[in-house]
Structures are given as structure tokens and as C-alpha cells.
Amino acid sequence: MELTKEQQQILDGEKGDTLAKIMKTLVMYGETFGAEKMVPVTSKMGHLVTSFGLGVMKPVYELMDKLIADGAVSSQKFSVDPRPLDKNVPSDPIKNLVFKKFMYSAQESYDKQLEKLGLLNKNAYTCTCYLDEIGNTPEKGEVLSWAESSAVVYANSVLGARCNRNSGIIELFGSIVGYVPYFGLLTDEGRKATWVVEVKTSKTPEAQVLGSAIGMKVMEDVPYVKGLSEMIGTELNDENRAYLKDFGAATASNGAVGLYHIAGLTPEAKEQGESLIAENAKTYVIDDAELERVKNGYPVMWKDKNAVPKLCFIGCPHLTLAQLKEWTEKISAGLAAKGLKKVKVPTVLTAAPDVAEEFSKLPDAARLKATGAVLSYICPLMYMNNPLAGKMPVITNSNKLRTYTTARYYTSDEILRIITGGAAK
Ligand code: F3S
């Protein structure tokens, strides 16, 4: 790899042993992927994927202590993924014991380490750091050092920023040293689409199922999606941004997509059109039958497949303010239509602390509370990682949560029907 004079000096230890080791790690990481140079991280802020103080992650805490002691803290402020615990989320004493003693026992000390390393503020725990309320919104063309897959795919695709799907710690190293290796989605060539996806459905597809279908088909490749902007619009707005957030998280978790282009809508597709499509790109046609096939293929991991759901998670990735309002309206109306006051399944809606704060100022907050649904800043995946939670019949409209846990997937309409007293089909 060709390094600049300054990069070479860091590697040679002129700024200390610790920074030299960090630079060496990044250089080795880049060389593995054929990178020939390092480029500056140009975003204003970073984002870390590891938010949870799992007791077994001792080497990470030792590493963090060493970084702090040597002054090798992040050159950027950063946000971090959601916290794993929230007392507002329904639990029980045994589950709590497992959470506190056997799982996230290091959470408090880890939070302190994050503060010392450059955490933006105490509210900056969310995977939707790019929303206005949080303020870690990269600009088009900026180079990032992030790892959270749902945030990376959003930043690349909807905002036009440039970031690879890095792993945890590598993204912190990039933020500390201020450089990342230049390869993959940082390059013009790596941003070309090797798949053309033709959406030919009779109505707007469920974002999380469409994303799942595309993710499973193209895996880590870049898809160019035609036929969708006709349904969700040709200008970015709050509604289609939220759609793309959920769609992207499904592409990134059901496959390993780090960037997609939506013809006529996302920034690069608008600017460059079909010149973004690589030669010999493959084609994938999605119609109603294909979406049904994909959805019906999800395995149900519950021991008793006919169990009555005991918990419902909505908001993975975290909900936007508009989505919170929409869910409040739908749940309230759904209950009223059935003459009910409270949800029939304990329901947790999740959102960033800053979004929840904004929501709490609205009359909707009291309306949501009245339905019995809970608003939390938690990461549902962290909750489901508790083996006792994993045994529960949990439902969700998140395809990411379905992929990584035993939670059962239902579309948003199905979820609404179930939590407002309808049968789970
Ligand atoms: Fe976000 Fe946790 Fe889901 S990080 S995307 S809420 S798994």
C-alpha cells in the first residue's frame, strides 16, 4: 500500500506506539481487500456498532482502557448502537438476573469508556444516528468509518456517503486515526450495480420483505432497483426515507448489501442513471408471487408454532418520529375499532432517545401510553440474545430481528391485527 508521508510517520511510530498499531491494523485490513491507499475520514462524526457491555468481551475493554490511557481517543465524536437494557421493556426477575449478571454485566463501565473515547452525548445510543434529531447525518460524498450494517447501507444509499461494511473496532480505529483503506464501496467502480432488480408488484411492497428478497438474492452485491420510485416517489421525503431505512436494513441483514440504488430516487441513481449499472449485470424480477415465496420461506423457530405471542417488537432499526406517530394512530384506531383499550400482546416500540424525547412533547405520547404499548430505546436483538427471551414466542415486523433471533416475522399490517386482538395466522 502507498502511504502519504503523514500516514507513514504514524505507522513508523512517530505519534506513539498505540497509533502505530492502529495504523498497522488498518493497513493490513485494507491490504486484505486489495486497497492501494488510505484516504481521510471526512465525515464530521463516527458511529460505533458495539453498544453492549457483554461480560465476556474483556479483551475489548482492556483495549479501550489502553486507548484511553495512551490518549488515542477518537478524533471525531461518535454515536453508538442502542443500549441493550431498559427497565421499561417487559421482563421478569430471572431474565433480569441473566441480563445483569451473565450478559451485560460490564455495561456501566463500558458506557464510561465510550464517554472518554468520544461519545457524542448520553443520548447518542441508536442505530438511526443519521436522523435529524440525532444529528449524525453524513453528507453526500463524505467518507465514513462506520460498521452498523443498517446505518452503513442507509448512509451509502440514501445519503450518498461512502463507507464499507467494516467490522466493530475497525470502525473505531478509523475514527481514531482519521484514515480508512480505499476499496469497495469507497470507489466509483465498487458503487456500480451488478444486479438490476425489476419490481413488478401490484402495490407498494412491504419494505422489509422486498429488502429481504433482494438481500438473499444479491448477497453483498450492489442492486439497481427499477420500478420502486414509481410507487414510493421520486423525491426523498420523510415517508420514503423511513421506507428505505427499513428496506435497507433487510437487504443488509438478510444478505450483506452495503449499497443499493433506487432508479429515479436515491442521489447517485438520480445523477448517473443507468450508467451506474455494470456490464453483464444480472437481473432479478420481483412480483407478488416472488414476495410471497420469500415470506413463506422464513422458518418459524418457535418450539410451539401455534403459541400465543408473548411480546412484540416494532422498530428494528429504530423508528422515526413520523413512524412513531403513525403507529400510535394505527394502534389507537385498531383498538377502538374492536372496542378495546389496551394491546392484547405486550408491545415495545423502539426509537432513538432523542426521537423519543421529541415524541414525548406531542399529544401522541399520552395516546400511545394509553394503549399499553411501551416506548423504549433498547435494541431488541440484545434483548432476544437472552436465552430465556429466545424461548419466548416473540413477534416482530423486523426482518433483521427475524434473521438473527427466534422472533417470528409478520408484516406491519399483520402485527397491527395481532396486537389489537386479531388472531395470528
Ligand atoms: Fe438497530 Fe439493534 Fe435492530 S442495532 S437495526 S435495533 S438489531
Q: Which of 381, 382, 398 to mutate to test the pocket of ligand 1 (most atoms within 8 A of CB)?
A: 381
Residue 425 lies inside a defined structural domain of this protein:
no
* Listed residues 157, 186, 215: the one ending a domain: 186
Same domain, yes or no, for 141 and 209?
no
Q: How many domains does the chain have?
A: 3
- For residue 70, give the CATH number of its domain: 3.30.499
Pick from 143, 169, 186: which residue ends a domain?
A: 186
Residue 35 Cα to ligand 1 middle (Å): 30
Together in a domain, 222 and 366? no
Query: For residue 318, how far is its CA from the centre of ligand 1 (angstroms)?
Result: 7
203 Rama class: left (phi>0) / alpha (psi -120 to 50) / beta: beta
Which grid cell is 122?
Answer: 448520553
Grid coordinates standing for 28?
A: 493490513
In a domain, 80, yes or no: yes
- Full pLDDT tens readout for the chain, 425 residues: 999 999 999 999 999 999 999 999 999 999 999 999 999 999 999 999 998 999 999 999 999 999 999 999 988 999 999 999 999 999 999 999 999 999 999 999 999 999 999 999 999 999 999 999 999 999 999 999 999 999 999 999 999 999 999 999 999 999 999 999 999 999 999 999 999 999 999 999 999 999 999 999 999 999 999 999 999 999 999 999 999 999 999 999 999 999 999 999 999 999 999 999 999 999 999 999 999 999 999 999 999 999 999 999 999 999 999 999 999 999 999 999 999 999 999 999 999 999 999 999 999 999 999 999 999 999 999 999 999 999 999 999 999 999 999 999 999 999 999 999 987 66
**pTM over 0.95, yes/no:** yes
CB-CB contact of 78 with 51 (8 Å): no
Is the sign of the CA dihedral 169, 172, 177, 183 positive or negative?
positive
> Hey, whose CA ends up nearest to atom 4 of ligand 1?
127
Atom of ligand 1 nearest to the CA of 316: 3
**Residue of 400, 402, 404, 409 best suited for mutating to test ligand 1, as the one with most atoms within 8 Å of CB:** 400
Same domain? For 269 and 379 the reply is no
pLDDT of residue 425: 61
Compute the distance from residue 147 Cα to the ligand 1 centre, in Å: 12
Measured between its terminal Cα atoms, the distance across the chain in Å is 56
Q: Residue 317: is the preceding peptide bond cis (ω within 30°)?
A: yes
CA–CA distance, 120 with 111 (Å, rounded to integer): 12
Residue 301 domain-assigned? no
Cα 269 to averaged position of ligand 1 atoms, centre (Å): 27
Residue 305 lies in a domain: no
Pocket test for ligand 1, best of 150, 152, 409 (most atoms within 8 A of CB): 150
279 and 319: one domain? no
Q: Choose one of 49, 83, 127 to mutate for the ligand 1 pocket test, by most ligand atoms within 8 angstroms of C-beta.
A: 127
Q: CA separation (Å) from 9 to 23, 28, 240, 410? A: 10, 16, 46, 54
CA of 378 to the centre of ligand 1 (A): 9
Q: How far is the CA of 131 from the centre of ligand 1 (A)?
A: 14
Calculate how far, in angstroms, residue 80's C-alpha sits from the geometric centre of ligand 1.
Answer: 11
**Residues 6 or more apart in contact with residue 90 via CB below 8 angstroms:** 311, 346, 348, 374
Sheet hosting strand 374-376, strand order edge to edge: 374-376, 347-351, 311-319, 394-396, 408-409
In a domain, 291, yes or no: yes
Spell out which residues line ligand 1, taking CB within 6 angstroms. 81-82, 127, 150, 249, 316-318, 379-381, 400
* Edge-to-edge order in the sheet of strand 261-262: 261-262, 223-226, 193-199, 277-286
Q: Within 13 Å, how many C-alpha atoms sit on residue 158's CB side? A: 27
Half-sphere exposure of 139 (CA within 13 A, CB side): 3
In this structure, the residue with its CA closest to atom 1 of ligand 1 is 317
- pLDDT for res 424: 65
CA of 198 to the centre of ligand 1 (A): 28
In the beta sheet, which residues pair with residue 351? 319
Contact assessment for residue 135 and residue 222, using Cβ atoms and an 8 Å cutoff: no
Distance 14 CA to ligand 1 centre (A): 39
Which atom of ligand 1 has the smallest separation from the CA of 249?
5
Do 105 and 182 have their domain in common? yes
DSSP secondary structure letters along 152-172: HHHHHHTS--B---PPTTHHH
Question: What spacing in Å lies between the alpha carbon of 49 and ligand 1's midpoint?
Answer: 10
Q: Is residue 263 located within the same domain as residue 331?
A: no
Q: DSSP string spanning 327-368?
A: HHHHHHHHHHHTT-SS-SS-EEEEE-HHHHHHHHTSHHHHHH
pLDDT at residue 75, rounded to an integer: 84
Count of Cβ atoms closer than 10 Å to residue 412 Cβ: 17
Q: Three-state DSSP class for 120? A: coil
**Is-contact 361 354, C-beta < 8 A?**
no
Q: Closest Cα to atom 5, ligand 1: which residue? A: 317
Asked if residue 413 is part of any domain, the answer here is yes
Place of cell 433480569: 96
pLDDT at residue 423 in the model: 74
Residue whose CA lies nearest to ligand 1 atom number 7: 381
Cell numbers linked to 111: 458506557
Strand stretches in 201-295, DSSP E: 223-226, 261-262, 277-286
Q: What is the CA radius of gyration of the chain?
A: 22
Of ligand 1's atoms, which has the minimum distance to the CA of residue 378? 6
Query: How close is the Cα of 9 to the center of ligand 1, in Å?
Result: 38
Claim to verify: residue 236 and residue 148 sit in the same structural domain: no
Query: Which residue's alpha carbon is at the smallest distance from atom 2 of ligand 1?
Result: 379
The verdict on 123 and 41 lying in the same domain is yes
Q: Are residues 347 and 366 in the same domain?
A: yes
Cα distance between residue 259 and residue 140, in whole Å: 13
- With contact defined as beta carbons under 8 Å apart, do 353 and 387 qualify? no
Q: What is the CATH number of the domain that holds 315?
A: 3.30.499.10
- pLDDT of the residue at 330: 98
Distance from C-alpha of 179 to C-alpha of 167, rounded to nearest angstrom: 15
In the three-class reduction of DSSP (H, G, I as helix; E, B as strand; rest coil), residue 374 is classed as: strand
Contact 377, 351 (CB under 8 A): yes
Q: 90 and 233: one domain?
A: no
Which atom of ligand 1 is found nearest the CA of 350?
6
Quick one: 291 and 319 in the same domain? no
Does residue 395 contact residue 418 with C-beta atoms inside 8 Å?
yes
pLDDT for the residue 122: 95
- Of 296, 331, 353, the residue that ends a domain is 296
Same structural domain, 198 and 181: no
Domain-embedded: residue 166: yes
Domain containing 242: what range?
191-296
Q: Could you tell me if residue 260 is inside a domain?
A: yes
Which grid cell sits at 121? 452525548
